[in-house]
Amino acid sequence: MEATPTTLFDAIWEAHRVDVNPTPAGGPDTLHIDLHLVHEVTSPQAFEILRERGLPLRRPGQTMATMDHSTPTTPPDASGLYIFSDDDTAAQINTLEANCAEFGVPLFALGHEHQGIAHVTAPDLGLIQPGMTIVCGDSHTSTHGAFGALAFGIGTSQVAHVFATQCLLAARPETFEIRIDGALQPGVSAKDVILAVIATIGTEGGTGHVFEYSGSTISSMSMEERMTVCNMSIEGGARAGLIAPDDTTFDFLEGRPFAPQGADFDAAVAKWMRLPKPGEAPYHRSVSFDASRLVPMITYGTSPGMGVGIDAPIPHPADLTDDDERDSLRRALDYMAFEPGKPLSGHPVDVVFVGSCTNSRLSDLRDAARILDGRTVSDTVRMLVVPGSRKVKAAAEREGLDQIFLRAGAEWREPGCSMCLAMNGDRIESGQLAVSTSNRNFEGRQGPGGRTVLASPMTAAACAVNGVISDVREMLR
């Protein structure tokens, strides 16, 4: 008998739905979780719930902790001590260390060879595999959908639920196909693709849905590019984004420390190949993009959906018909101090940040380095390059990328989330304008009063060199 075709999302959901007795009528499903990623910021209150209830952590072997959000990106001092931005931060880091020891959770602590941003280090190690369910107390857990894994962010209460039961209660979302076809032009990257998608569907476009990305642009992307796309699914309102696994996925995973090895790997690939491919079953919604016409993207407002092509004018509030949208745009432009109706090119830049779970992988650093090689950062610009993990940092240094950045006048830092959310002390000052390869341009996100323009690593590097918002394509000629 032929099984009814399903979407990749449905296949994973069904394979992880626990049959419970009695089934709550119309209630949420009980979903079993294959991998739980943990970090210092959203876990302490969840570990506390275990203690208050006298419960063990059910599956430490399916739990992995790292330190990333509030860790310093400056090296330890001569005695090996890390200098934290304040006492609370140091206490939170120590709390994670104590909690992981108490409950048996493996931890990539500061100085560990695998320490880094959860969403960079876990895939690097082969922990993320097709068909898995993955959660983390962090909205950018959506990154891991690049492997054909259902991965989404949860709040701290649910972190406790997964600690205690390896399960969570969840209402089933609907599916939304994002089909992207066409070859990318030089200077256009995965970051530009996802910024363009969000600019079109809006930051609430995916609410209640999981994205399933498809099309030739996606299939020709590397795993790192796919992670950049899936990472920002949450900025499009979807908790998760999925890409069906293919040879690119399997080639990436082969030989990674936590991936199956030898004959086990071959058996796993055979199983992964049976997961549904795009288009085998209908989606609730669908939208198509032609990526061949894309240009480098930048954001001009205080929501990731406020993005335009680098050469296009910023929209004028008067041109919008919806009252609320007009009001949002006016507020955003007031905050950003940008003039509508004109392109952003040429606008002075104070800070450039290359990093974050969106764009801090080796290929991102190569992109930025290619632009900076033989050039210098404008003396009006402070540029920070923060690799996503210790492993990425080491790989970049083996290639000499650190030397390119340092020679150009950029700062080469230790791994972490850093200036993406400015909770470790790395931040911009009030009124400053940052071009950032991160994922959110919310008011004050990178420091109180700070203004953020989101862009690709190539565009960020071009802006650093020129000291103004720039079209990287002019530097590729």
Partner 1 sequence: MKNLESLATLLPVDNIDTDRIIPARFLTTTDRNGLGRHLFADWPEGSAALSDASIIVAGHNFGCGSSREHAPWALIDRGIRAVIATGFADIFHANAVRNGLVPVVVEADDHARLVALLEAEPDGLITIDFENHVLRCGTVEIAFRAASVVADQTTPGGAELDLLLQQIVDIQNFEAGSQPRVNTRMETR
User: Which residues in the 107-126 window bind partner 1 by CB under 8 A?
Assistant: 125
Least distance between partner 1 and beta carbon 157 (Å): 5
User: Which residues in the 241-260 window bind partner 1 by CB under 8 A?
Assistant: 257-258
Least distance between partner 1 and beta carbon 471 (Å): 28
Applying CB under 8 A, among 73, 92, 214, 466 the residue interacting with partner 1 is 92
Closer residue to partner 1 in complex, CB, 234/465: 234
Applying CB under 8 A, among 8, 12, 68, 70 the residue interacting with partner 1 is 70
User: Which residues in the 180-239 window bind partner 1 by CB under 8 A?
Assistant: 203-204, 207-208, 234, 237-239
Query: Could you tell me whether strands 285-290 and 240-243 are parallel, antiparallel, or unpaired per DSSP bridges?
Result: unpaired
Total residues at the site for partner 1 (CB under 8 A)? 85
Least distance between partner 1 and beta carbon 243 (Å): 18
Q: Is the sign of the CA dihedral 430, 431, 435, 438 positive or negative?
A: positive
Least distance between partner 1 and beta carbon 421 (Å): 4
Least distance between partner 1 and beta carbon 24 (Å): 8
Applying CB under 8 A, among 393, 440, 451, 473 the residue interacting with partner 1 is 440
Task: Based on the shown chain and the rule CB under 8 A, indicate whether residue 14 belongs to the binding site for partner 1.
Answer: no
Least distance between partner 1 and beta carbon 17 (Å): 9
What's the chain look like in SS3? CCCCCCCHHHHHHHHHECCCCCCCCCCCEEEECCEEEECCCCCHHHHHHHHHHCCCCCCHHHEEEECCCCCCCCCCCCCCCCCCCCHHHHHHHHHHHHHHHHHCCCEECCCCCCCECHHHHHHHCCCCCCCCEEEECCHHHHHHHHHCCEEEECCHHHHHHHHHHCEEEECCCEEEEEEEECCCCCCCCHHHHHHHHHHHHCCCCCCCEEEEEECHHHHCCCHHHHHHHHHCCHHHCCCEEEECCCHHHHHHHCCCCCCCCCHHHHHHHHHHHCCCCCCCCCCCEEEEEEHHHCCCEEECCCCCCCEEECCCCCCCHHHCCCHHHHHHHHHHHHHHCCCCCCCCCCCECCEEEECCCCCCCHHHHHHHHHHHCCCCCCCCCEEEECCCEHHHHHHHHHCCHHHHHHHHCCEECCCCCHHHCCCCCCCCCCCCEEEECCCCCCCCCCCCCCEEEECCHHHHHHHHHHCECCCCHHHHC
Tokens of 458: 């190539």
The one segment of 130-138, 217-225, 286-294, 456-464 that binds partner 1 by CB under 8 A? 130-138
Least distance between partner 1 and beta carbon 132 (Å): 5
Closer residue to partner 1 in complex, CB, 12/227: 12
User: Which residues in the 18-37 window bind partner 1 by CB under 8 A?
Assistant: 18-21, 24, 30, 32, 34-35
Applying CB under 8 A, among 7, 71, 89, 436 the residue interacting with partner 1 is 89
Applying CB under 8 A, among 156, 216, 286, 363 the residue interacting with partner 1 is 156
Q: In 3D, which of 409, 298, 434, 408 has the Cα closest to residue 354?
A: 434
d(CA 458, CA 455): 8
The one segment of 59-67, 175-183, 405-413, 457-465 that binds partner 1 by CB under 8 A? 59-67
Task: Based on the shown chain and the rule CB under 8 A, indicate whether residue 45 belongs to the binding site for partner 1.
Answer: yes
Applying CB under 8 A, among 48, 174, 181, 254 the residue interacting with partner 1 is 48
| C-beta of residue 299 within 8 angstroms of C-beta of residue 192 | no
The one segment of 91-99, 219-227, 345-353, 466-474 that binds partner 1 by CB under 8 A? 91-99
Task: Based on the shown chain and the rule CB under 8 A, indicate whether residue 356 belongs to the binding site for partner 1.
Answer: no
Least distance between partner 1 and beta carbon 372 (Å): 28
Q: Is the peptide bond before 315 cis (omega within 30 degrees of 0)?
A: no
Least distance between partner 1 and beta carbon 72 (Å): 13
Least distance between partner 1 and beta carbon 296 (Å): 24
Tokens of 234: 């949450």
User: Which residues in the 283-342 window bind partner 1 by CB under 8 A?
Assistant: 302-303, 324-325, 327-328, 331
The one segment of 40-48, 184-192, 354-362, 375-383 that binds partner 1 by CB under 8 A? 40-48
Least distance between partner 1 and beta carbon 346 (Å): 28
User: Which residues in the 368-427 window bind partner 1 by CB under 8 A?
Assistant: 421-423
Task: Based on the shown chain and the rule CB under 8 A, indicate whether residue 168 belongs to the binding site for partner 1.
Answer: yes
Task: Based on the shown chain and the rule CB under 8 A, indicate whether residue 60 belongs to the binding site for partner 1.
Answer: yes
